[in-house]
Amino acid sequence: MTEEEFDAFYAAAFPRLTGQLYAFTGDHGEAQDVVQEAFIRAWDRRGEFLADGAPEAWIRTVAMRLAVSRWRRARRWLEVVRRTPPPEHTAGPDPDRAALVAALRKLPEAQRMALVLHHLCDLSVEQVASETGAPLGTVKARLSRGRTALARELAVGEGEREREDDRVR
């Protein structure tokens, strides 16, 4: 089967196979996924398809087996989850981290990206420039301006917390 023949076969068979697998799985998205995966596997065998004489049956069989395999995997995962007790208590983020995230959100995106990549992801200034596509000097300026703005935001946030603590007392 040539690429053009495979494309025509795909266009004709995909909707039909998806409908059949939807009836089998009860989930349209899952049906589309397994049929698509079956077609991907068939792509490597497209030369053998005309000799087999039943390419749609082959894809349907593969898609059904994929659906059953996914269902079994999901069932096993569910059994593991049910046997694992939930944690007693999960602590929320500490106040300093929440304040940092809130302050970072107030910065322009370019400054925030530079600060996160450089200080939290431990990338060098050169790596930040490469990842963002910005010139080296621009990254340095963003880091400098971002640190200044971040310090200002954190200082404002600290002052608000102190006033709040005084009200509580």
Other beta carbons within 10 Å of 150? 19
Looking at residue 159, its pLDDT comes to: 60
**Segment 43-82, tens digit of pLDDT:** 887 777 655 678 888 899 999 999 999 999 988 988 888 8
The answer to pTM > 0.75 is no
Q: What is the mean pLDDT of residues 40-44?
A: 87
- Distance, CA of 169 to CA of 167 (rounded, Å): 5
**The amino acid at 117:** L
Query: Which residues touch 13 (CB under 8 Å, ≥6 apart)?
Result: 55, 56, 59
Q: What is the mean pLDDT of residues 22-33?
A: 91
- The chain-wide mean pLDDT, for the chain, equals 85
Residue owning tokens 């005309």: 50
* Cβ–Cβ under 8 Å, residues 80 and 126: no
Q: What is the mean pLDDT of residues 98-116?
A: 90
**Segment 110-133, tens digit of pLDDT:** 999 999 999 988 999 999 999 899
